[in-house]
Amino acid sequence: MQKNKALVLGITGGIAAYKAAELVRLLVKNNIDVQVVMTEAACQFITPVTMQALSGKPVYAGMWDASIPNGMPHIELSRVADAIVIAPASADFIAKLVHGRADDLLSTLCLARDCPLLVAPAMNKQMWENPATQRNIAQLQADGITILGPDSGEQACGEIGLGRMLEAEDLLSLIEAHFQPKLLLGKKVMVTAGATLEMIDPVRAITNLSSGKMGYAIAQAAQEMGAEVTLVSGASALKPPLGVRTISATSADAMYQAVMGNIVNQDIFIGVAAVADYSPTKKHEQKIKKSESSLTLELSKTKDILADVASLPNAPFCVGFAAESENLLEYAEAKRQAKKLPLIVANLAADAMGSDENSVTLLDKNGAHPLERAPKIEIARLLLQHIVSML
């Protein structure tokens, strides 16, 4: 996300208001400037003092606040914001937005805005399912307002169903996604990610330490930039990014089949998976019993997915990853040329595997482009911007 985006966070009356505190903390941590505006009802659930402490700014809760010099907070606050986010948005506040009511600061601010409005509903499942609420949500969408969630699960009232507000982390990623330039609109992107698992017998396997974090971040970033994304995932404990078609393929062979079966019409292929180069020649159907003092496993070479995609007629734009432990740029460039790739991403295996951050160098025919150490989602966005510049 570009630094120093400014948000107005509107909080309305609902028990999910407590999650807004965590959301403010995450937004501030991600360098987003937050101005909190609360309705009177919201102040019954969480105090402005809490929100002030977390946002580092006084909270606006009334129409008649004299601290804004021209006395027009409803205009001032929205003019300096890149977006207004209402979280939680009660059923009542949603109904108010539909009718363009302006009887408190937050609703007036929404009516007077000249920036995007994002709304995160939070309510009991019957209230959510009520045709009146559904009509209101459809009307907000028709008015160009973005609806975030809601989530389903256990509710404060004890019932289970749709209506609870998304968790703060999910809201943060949707807000960040909203700000991404849609550079990949209309493009199809396929990403492989994670480790492969080559079974030796029913309970043992050969695998590696790849967590899938880099590949999942690229899939998410591509989706945020407007692409239609297919993620072919090996073993990974991660939750697939929202809006990404995910195909699970744990062995090198299954991953090869999944990629080749879906590669037609893809514009970009990014091989991030740590694919096993060798797999046991014989897959034992029963557990291997220990008997001898040593055991020799015969391994056969797997098919190189990336190289085969790159050599297809009408191949998509292919990007590889090289995780090395020494001679990073030299080995990575050799791989780029051997697999005939326009671009390869070089990183040190020890630095990248399992970590939430990475520092990489992009290698293309023009040479090396180092990217500073940053969270993997930031690296993913910069990589995709580089790909767009090459397309």
Catalytic residue annotation: 157
Applying CB under 6 A, which of residues 306, 310, 360, 384 lies at the interface with ligand CTP? 306
Half-sphere exposure of 336 (CA within 13 A, CB side): 22
Q: Per CB under 6 A, does 277 bind ligand CTP?
A: yes
Q: Which of 99, 92, 98 is nearest to 145 (CA)?
A: 98
Asked if residue 279 lies in contact with residue 251, where contact means CB atoms within 8 angstroms, the answer is yes
Helix (H, G, I), strand (E, B) or coil at 379: helix
Q: How many residues bind ligand CTP (CB under 6 A)?
A: 16
- Cite the beta strand spans of the chain per DSSP E: 6-11, 33-38, 83-89, 117-121, 146-147, 151-154, 160-164, 188-193, 198-201, 204-206, 228-233, 245-248, 268-271, 278-280, 299-301, 317-324, 343-348, 357-364, 367-375
Smallest distance, ligand CTP to C-beta of residue 276, A: 7
> Which positions from 64 through 103 interact with ligand CTP, judged by CB under 6 A?
none
Asked if residue 53 lies in contact with residue 36, where contact means CB atoms within 8 angstroms, the answer is no
> Which positions from 244 through 263 interact with ligand CTP, judged by CB under 6 A?
252
Smallest distance, ligand CTP to C-beta of residue 321, A: 4
Q: Which of 385, 391, 383 is nearest to 363 (CA)?
A: 383
* Distance in angstroms (rounded) separating the CA atoms of residues 30 and 123: 28
Q: Per CB under 6 A, does 223 bind ligand CTP?
A: no
Q: Per CB under 6 A, does 328 bind ligand CTP?
A: no
Q: Per CB under 6 A, does 220 bind ligand CTP?
A: no
Write each residue from 352 to 371 as x if it is in contact with ligand CTP (CB under 6 A), else as -, in one continuous string.
Answer: --------------------
Nearer to ligand CTP, 46 or 218 (CB): 218
Applying CB under 6 A, which of residues 33, 176, 198, 304 lies at the interface with ligand CTP? 304
Smallest distance, ligand CTP to C-beta of residue 306, A: 3
Contacting positions for ligand CTP (CB under 6 A): 192, 252, 271-273, 275, 277, 302, 304-306, 320-323, 335
